[in-house]
Amino acid sequence: MTQAATVPQAEQIGAAPGLSAEARIFAILAIIVVGLLALAFLLPYLAPHQPNQISLRNRLLPPFWMARGSYDYLLGTDHLGRCVLSRLLHGARLSWLIALGATIVSCLFGATVGLIAGYAGGRWDAIIMRWVETHIAFPGLLIVLLLLAVLGTNLATLILVLAFNGWMVFAGVTRNQVLITRKLPYVEAAETLGCSSFHVIVRHIAPNLVPTLITLSVLEFARLTLAESAISFLGLGVQPPDISWGFDVANGRNYLLNAWWLVTVPGMAIAFTVFAMNLVARWLRNSLNPEARERSFARSALAGKVE
């Protein structure tokens, strides 16, 4: 009788707990952000107007809920009569594409360098880490502006220059993670059995890096979105007829007092992207980290017992 009563109670305590309110919020935000990224490649079909279509008759129209606003231009028009909503949607595609490309390049290069430094150790580790520290010592935005001024501005150059400014964080984090993972018993056992370095790295070390690199990539995507907007605002990023959020903020700064929506709309899009990506990164860190999952499970189990 006692055993039969104990089994259901154990099953109840050991069952996977449901999502907490905070986890549900982060999950919803993740779905929204992923949906926005998917929409970025469909935006040309969703924009109500061509983003560069000029209509001086409709210049500086306010959003539809204000006086003189029009449902034809839901978020108003700029100083040339171009649809702000259409430019916002097209600008999202290019801003996210640049940030995503730079994140991928910096992650691959930085993780490779950090993996070599952490696994090889010794002289290689010292040389690579001095290189990383020297690179970090220089102002990142200044280096990006100088490189763009010398190399010129195009999509590939923007991606490579931004990646050049961000790979160091991936190298440092990867190197530290490799140093920790190498001391684990199963890695030492594989090395003792004579497994090649390539086998040890690919089968035993690299899989442990994936959760950390995913979380770090999301954070870096948010930072690079902000960096691309800053560069475009300064005039060295995206050039006409291409569109980005930072470029639209620069175009609207002279009309801030009488046409606030020209700066506010793309500025809020940038802020929302950065804020949402930081929340998603926090949720991923808690979801992918085994220790965080165990703490969440323990709290849920304890709450269930208290109730």
CA dihedral 31, 32, 35, 41 (to 10 degrees): -150
255 belongs to a structural domain: yes
**pLDDT value, residue 268:** 92
6 belongs to a structural domain: no
Tokens 């595609």 correspond to 93
Share of the chain above pLDDT 70, in %: 81
The number of domains in the chain is: 1
17 belongs to a structural domain: no
Q: Any idea what DSSP says for residue 216? A: H
Give buried/exposed letters for 216-245 (b at 16+ CB in 10 A, else e).
bbbbbbbbbbbbbbbbbbeebbbeeebbbb
Closest CA to 12 of 287, 294, 300, 296: 300
**Per-chain mean pLDDT for the chain:** 81
Q: Give the tokens for residue 209.
A: 């890096």
**pLDDT value, residue 9:** 39
User: Looking at residue 117, which CATH number applies to its domain?
Assistant: 1.10.3720.10
Tokens 């040309």 correspond to 44
Angle in degrees, 0-180, between the axes of helices 21-39 and 261-288, rounded to the nearest 10: 120
More confident residue, 22 or 205: 205
49 belongs to a structural domain: yes
7 belongs to a structural domain: no
In this structure, which amino acid lies at residue 151? L
Tell me: pLDDT of 17 over 60. Answer: no
Least confident window among 50-54, 135-139, 192-196: 192-196
pLDDT digits (tens, 9 = 90+) for 48-101: 888 888 888 888 888 988 888 888 888 989 989 899 998 998 888 888 889 988
19 belongs to a structural domain: no
270 belongs to a structural domain: yes
Residue 168: C-alpha distances to residues 106, 133, 228, 249, 275 (Å): 8, 8, 18, 29, 23
Domain encompassing residue 109 = 28-306
23 belongs to a structural domain: no
Tell me: pLDDT of 238 over 60. Answer: yes
**pLDDT value, residue 5:** 42
Q: What is the pTM of this model?
A: 0.79
